[in-house]
Structure 1
Amino acid sequence: MALSPTRELMAAAAATGSGQGAFNVIHLETVEGLLAGAESAGLPLILQISENCARYHGGLEPLALATLAAARRSSVPVSVHLDHAEDEQLAYQAVDLGFGSIMYDGARFEYADNVAVTRRVTEYAHARGVYVEAELGKVGGKDGAHAPGVLTDPKEAVAFVAATKVDALAVAVGSSHAMTERSAALDLARIGALKAALNVPLVLHGSSGVPDDAIVAAIAAGMTKINVSTHLNGFFTRAVREYLNLNPAVVDSRKYLKAGRDALVPEVARLLSLFSTVHAQGEK
């Protein structure tokens, strides 16, 4: 199956009020495990490469080209997305490499600067048919995400989307990045207010720290794209650790990386199925 544009996957999920899973790539073994899980579920997937991941690999291009090649071979619709790019030039590189979408993260800037840079990135991407996600409100660490004044304001979100022309908006509603416990409490009323105010899909970052029932409620309240990384990394790492504990003499890294890769498959399929069966209030 040909590589799918993120725009199509997001439009399909938004039309039914369901959730679209977007799972982070760490290395090629993650790509393979994530794709196998999506194929097992028979559901579309957005593969995400973050700026941090690109930096770990010494640059975006090698892992990006491998991920794009693997996605093209998938039997289900798959798109490739640049996640949390604070480097403007990296966003442009992802567009030029053939990504279906990019997320430019200007949340560290003051509002006016965030608007200016995000608008510039969006113009570049849209001229080349690439979908753009941005962030308003800071989805930060566990403490910061719950601090007063951090959550996304619906009125400001409307102005931001109008000024930047972005296609999707990541909003701060109580989740936090890199949580290893699924204990985050989401502001469902705020999600509903944002959904009612905006004409673009909402994105939930930090979903690894959100329990299943809260994710389901968030999708029902209006979330579309559901980002997951740390939660799935845990399945991979636990499987590798167990394999090495049981096989302390192994030296072939393919053997324990295969265990990690295989451990992703059922959880990826489960999450994608969970997200796809929920429907936002008032939508079918």
Structure 2
Amino acid sequence: MPLVATQVIIDEARTRRIGVGAFNVITLEHAEGIVTGAEQAGTPVILQISENAVKFHRGQLAPIAAAAAAVAAQAAVPVSLHLDHVENTALLHQAADAGFSSVMFDASHLDYDANVGATRAAADWAHERGLHLEAELGKVGGKDGAHAPGVRTDPGEAAAFVAATGVDSLAVAVGSSHAMTTRTARLDHELVAQLRDAVPVPLVLHGSSGAADQELRSAVAAGIVKVNIGTILNVVFTGAVRETLTEPKLVDPRKYLAPARIQISAVVQQMLSLLNDVDSTLAQSRP
């Protein structure tokens, strides 16, 4: 089916009080595996291409975006294309012509006033072109910074930030960390609920690979809508490649990429199923 707008997928998930999975695409096999897993789960999915992934592809956005869009167009479930963690304004400005319906513009490394100014300009540009703009407040960062003082998102500041920038969704720092290879992160579900009540836009959880199933279910029940997942896909992808390459005479990349793609599909199906399996009692408290 044709590409669906990210806003449509997010709005439906928010209405149903469930989570929507947004998975990072690095190679064509990632995109194929993610879409197959979504079809197996019978749920919509968001394909994400990060600025780092674009750098890997020699700084060229169009080829990997076109490949992901082509996979999405053949999907049996709704799929959208999202450009993630963009700090480079020139890359942001390529999004509208490359098939993306949403962008995460990341100025969280700047001080608050500079973050507001840069994000406001990005949101204005995006809205003129009909794009959904996500931003970040607080510092999700790497593993060591997740629990440091002052890095988590303050609800009052979040409300002011959303009002000042006009963003459509907000990535918040609530205890998760990027690039975790173990699922040991403890999320602050009370803070998630406070942020949900403080801001009118959907909340996004980055670094979700490091949170266990029940942590993610509880986060969605408390108010998280979009759940970004990347590292866990690379863990199973690489594991499958390593296992296959124990055969010393193997030289055909299809022989190790195929099982890696299957592993991605299995993880995506599992993660999407759990994001749809939210504690209904807790979710009833969501507005």
Query: Do the aligned partners of 2:143 and 2:177 also contact (CA within 8 Å) in 1?
Result: yes
Q: Aligned partners of 2:96, 2:164: CA distance in 1, in Å? A: 21
Report if aligned partners of 1:16, 1:283 keep a CA contact under 8 Å in 2. no
Q: How far is 1:135 from its partner?
A: 0.2
1:31 matched residue in structure 2: 31
Deviation per CA, 1:231-263: give whole Å up to 9, x if none: 111111111111111x22111111111110011
Aligned to 1:159: 160
Deviation string for 1:85-111 (max 9, x for gaps)? Answer: 111111111122120100000001111
Hey, what's the Cα distance between the residues in 1 that align with 2:170 and 2:61?
23
Take 1:15 and 1:256, find their aligned partners in 2: how far apart are those partners? 40
Aligned to 1:258: 258
* Letter matched to residue 33 of structure 1: G
The whole-number CA distance in structure 1 between the counterparts of 2:77 and 2:211 is 26
1: CA distance, partners of 2:207 / 2:174: 10
The amino acid of 1:137's aligned partner reads: G
Once residues 189 and 42 of structure 2 are traced to their aligned partners in structure 1, the CA distance between those partners, rounded to angstroms, is 29
1:233 and 2:272 are equivalent in the alignment: no
Aligned AA (1:135): E
Q: Which amino acid aligns with 2:45?
A: L
| 1:171 pairs with 2:172 | yes
- 1:283 deviates by 5.0
State the match for 2:2 in structure 1: 2
After superposing the two structures, state which structure 1 stretch, 88-97 or 150-159, moved more: 88-97
Normalising to structure 1: TM-score of the pair? Answer: 0.97
Letter in 2 for 1:149: G
Q: Which residue of 1 aligns with 2:46?
A: 46
Partner residue in 1 for 2:56: 56
User: Does the Cα contact within 8 Å between 1:23 and 1:47 map onto a contact in 2?
Assistant: yes
Task: Tell me the equivalent position of 1:282.
Answer: 285
Identify the residue that residue 100 of structure 1 maps to in structure 2.
Answer: 101
Amino acid at match of 1:155: G
| Structure 2 counterpart SS, 1:106 | coil
Structure 2 residue aligned with 1:273 = 273
| Contact persistence 2:65–2:99 (CA under 8 A) | no
Separation (CA, whole Å) in 2 of partners of 1:205 and 1:82: 14
Conserved in 2, the CA contact under 8 Å of 1:240 and 1:256?
yes
Structure 2 residue runs of 5 or longer lacking an equivalent are none
- Residue 216 of structure 1 corresponds to which residue in structure 2? 217
Distance 1:94 1:253 in 2: 31
How big is the shift at 1:267? 1.5
What amino acid sits opposite 1:16 in the alignment? R
CA distance in 2, matches of 1:107, 1:188: 22
Provide Cα deviations, 1:161-204, integer angstroms capped at 9, x if missing partner: 01111110000001000000111111111101000111100000
**Contact in 2 for aligned 1:154/1:194 (Cα 8 Å):** yes
> What is the aligned partner in structure 2 of residue 77 from structure 1?
78
Question: Using CA pairs below 8 Å that are at least 6 residues apart, which structure has the higher relative contact order?
Answer: 1
RMSD: 1.1
Match of 2:146 in 1: 145
Aligned partners of 1:281 and 1:177: how far apart in 2?
Answer: 29
CA–CA distance in structure 1, aligned partners of residues 264 and 154 of structure 2: 36
* 2:55 alignment partner AA: R
- Partner SS state of residue 143, structure 2: coil
Q: Which stretches of structure 1, 4 residues or more, deviate above 4 A after TM superposition?
A: none
Task: Please list the CA deviations of residues 35-78 of structure 1 after superposition, one character each: whole Å capped at 9, or x if unmatched.
Answer: 11111111100000000000000121110111111111111000
% identical equivalent positions: 54
Unaligned runs of 5+ in 1: none
Matches within 5 A, 1:130-141: 130-141=131-142
C-alpha contact (below 8 Å) 2:23/2:230 kept by paired residues: yes
Using the alignment, how far apart are the partners of 2:53 and 2:65 within structure 1? Answer: 10
CA distance in 1 between counterparts of 2:218 and 2:230 reads 20
SS in 1 for 2:93: helix
Q: Who is 1:113 aligned against?
A: 114
Q: In the alignment, what sits opposite 1:65?
A: 66
